[in-house]
Structures are given as structure tokens and as C-alpha cells.
Amino acid sequence: MIFFDRVTKVYPDSSVALQNVTFSIEPKEFVSIVGQSGAGKTTILKMLLAEEHPTEGQVFYESTDVHQLNKREINDFRRRIGMVFQDFRLLPDKTVYENIAFTMEASGRPDEEIAADVPHVLELVDLHDKAWNFPNELSGGEKQRVAIARALVNQPDIIVADEPTGNLDPVNTYDVVQILKKINDLGTTVILTTHNKGIIDSLGHRVIAMEKGKIIRDDKEGKYFI
């Protein structure tokens, strides 16, 4: 489904973010990418979203090289991926409902569908009573649940979560991981980057460990171990 073929990324200041990275991800997998800060986890995600271009190598989604897509195709492609960030990245001037609806509007979905799906997905992350609040009126855990709802609402093929629990307390971390597990159980591929040893150990899924831009370990049912 996703295939990184000998991908290298060197920034203009000569710092090497990725070095000859090769791996693939199958549909319905739950893959965690672990490593210290600067190991290259976020760069991998940026490559996948065509936010950054590789210096060498290619990134394939199904049989398409994502860096050969034109602007319109990139937009279509990104709608098939749901993104969750550590800093939530909600639109501050939009309510919870509008934040989620925006993703659907951007995909050109009709109003009736938006009106039906948004409450449903809010129910899923248990935030139906906060629909008309603005992001600054929510707690960190609530914001992250909105972000997950936003990522989910277009029924994407993949959910990419970049350190989604980095700013959360243990209770909220647990909630977020449970939601991600549930999403994966329903058939969506999940890619998670994290520092959190507890999460990795409790998941029992595939773990890719990175260090200084290289993959140093790729275990089918890994533990957090660098």
C-alpha cells in the first residue's frame, strides 16, 4: 500500500534527515514509528503527504509515486489520508463542528452529507456536546479528539498521527490510543509516531525504530527499545 524506496532527504544546510530508508506498509496495518527527536519520524510523514520532496528515492502510494502528482492530484490524495498532529492544528476561528465540516467541504461533499456525518463522528469521539465550542474553549484531550474526528470524517484509507499524545496527560493519552485502535479495528491503516514507551508496549503491533535518519529495527510485534 505504502512503499518507501531508498528514500534520502538532505536539507539545504546539509543536515541529513533520512538516509536510504526502505520499508512498506500493508493495508489495515497499525505501524508505530519510534525514535528520539531528530531521528527522522516526522520527515517520513511529510514525505508521505508530499509536503517535502525526497533528495533521492521514491515514495509510492499503491502504484503512484506521490511526488509525481500535480497540485490537484495532491489535494485528492491528501483527502485519502487523515492527519493528526501533536499540536492539534485546529482552525481557531471555527467551531468544533466547522473544523470537522471544513474537511468535508474541502472534498466537495454535499451539505446533507456533512449534516449527517459530522454529528456521527463527534459521537464517536464523545464530543457531541462540544460541537459549537471554539478550540480555545477545549482541553488538550478534547482538542486532540476533535483532530481525530476531523481526520476520520472523510473515511480515509490511512490515519497518520504525528506524536498525537505528546501534549496530553496519561488519561487522555489512553483515550486517544483507544480511539486509534478502534479505528484500526474498523479497517483503517494507522501510522503513529511517538516517544511514549507505554503506548508501544501496550499496542503489540509493528514497530519501526529509527535513529539518525536510518531504520535500525523493524519488528512485527515490537516493544519500545532503541
Partner 1 sequence: MFWTNVKRIVRTGFFNFWRNGTVSLASVLTMIVTLLVIGFIIMGSAVLKTSLDELRNKVDINITFIPKAAEEDVLSIKHSLETLPEVARVEYTSKEAVLEQFKERHADDQAILAALDELNQNPFGAALNVKAKDPSQYQSVANFLQGKSALPNTGLTIIDQVNYYQNKTAIDKLTSIITAADKLGLVLALAFIILSVITAFNTIRLTIYISRDEIGVMRLVGASTAYIQGPFIVVGMIYGLMAGILTLVILAPITYWLGHITENFFIGFNVFLYYLHNLPQIFLIIILGGLFIGAISSVLAIRKYLKV
Q: Which is nearer to partner 1, 138 or 203 (CB)?
A: 138
Parallel, antiparallel or unpaired: strands 189-194 and 206-211: unpaired
Q: Which is nearer to partner 1, 106 or 216 (CB)?
A: 106
Nine-digit cell string for 173:
493519552
Distance CA 18, CA 224 (A): 21
Q: Is 110 in the site for partner 1 (CB under 8 A)?
A: yes
Torsion sign (Cα): 64, 66, 71, 72: positive
56, 111, 123, 201: which one binds partner 1 (CB under 8 A): 111
Binding part of the chain for partner 1, among 4-12, 32-40, 83-91, 119-127 by CB under 8 A, reads 83-91
Binding part of the chain for partner 1, among 15-23, 104-112, 173-181, 208-216 by CB under 8 A, reads 104-112
Q: How far is the CB of 100 from partner 1 (least distance, A)?
A: 10
Q: How far is the CB of 97 from partner 1 (least distance, A)?
A: 12
Residues 165, 169, 172: CA angle, nearest 5 degrees: 70
**Are 74 and 144 spatial neighbours (Cβ–Cβ below 8 Å)?**
no
Q: Looking at residues 35 to 74 of the shown chain, list those that interact with partner 1 (rule: CB under 8 A).
A: 49, 51, 71-72
Residue whose C-alpha is closest to residue 3's, from 25, 19, 20, 18: 25
Binding part of the chain for partner 1, among 82-90, 121-129, 191-199, 215-223 by CB under 8 A, reads 82-90
HSE value, Cβ hemisphere, 13 Å, CA-based, for 155: 7
Interface residues toward partner 1, by CB under 8 A: 49, 51, 71-72, 75-79, 83, 89-94, 102-103, 105-108, 110-111, 150
